Amino acid sequence: MDVIEVLKTGMSTELWGMRFYQQAAARTLDETGKTVFETLVQEEQTHLDIICGQYAAVTSGKGCVSMARAKELAATVDPLDIFPEAKTAGELIPAEATDEQALQMAMDFERRGYDIYAKAAAEAEAGDVKTMWGFLATAEDKHFAFLQETLEYLTTNGVWFFDEQELPFFEG
């Protein structure tokens, strides 16, 4: 895929990710869960801004730019002009889906994003575009791990809260 096609794919991925997390936040009653999804909405928006700015730079003939410059250019591209179907998107999470099922769907979504960005990073030559794809791949991988820990928390009654703490070992 050429850079423009990868940027469009990334734009679509981030746009649909935002929609998914907005819907998840709206349907989650637990305040902590709601905060988790709202944070992911914000992060996906940041990723979308970077990709939109790169798209603006590349399609105007400037080539790939730094992520800081891409963020500055982000407002010049409306992803809904490129993906108008997203304006009328229905529910991405089935009404009967459990929180665990929604988290599994989100993990699948993040893994697909990671695969796209990791492949683009591997194929890119050094420079701003390689840095951007690497950054986005790492971010999607972190989202996946975070969602996995959240799923583990829900299915093991809070055990993951202690994963990062060193606990004493008692012998009986």
- Could you tell me the domains of the chain? 3-159 (1.20.1260.10)
**In the prediction, which pLDDT does 138 show?**
95
Q: What confidence score (pLDDT) does residue 84 get?
A: 81
Residue 149, both tokens: 């820990």
Residue 155: what residue type? T
DSSP character at residue 61: T
pLDDT in tens, 114-139: 999 999 999 988 788 899 899 999 99
Residues of the chain with pLDDT under 70: 1, 89, 157-172
pTM for the structure as a whole? 0.81
Burial 55-65 (b: 16+ CB within 10 A, else e): bbbbeeeeebb
Q: Nearest CA to 104 among 47, 144, 163, 160?
A: 144
Q: Are 103 and 147 in contact (CB under 8 A)?
A: yes
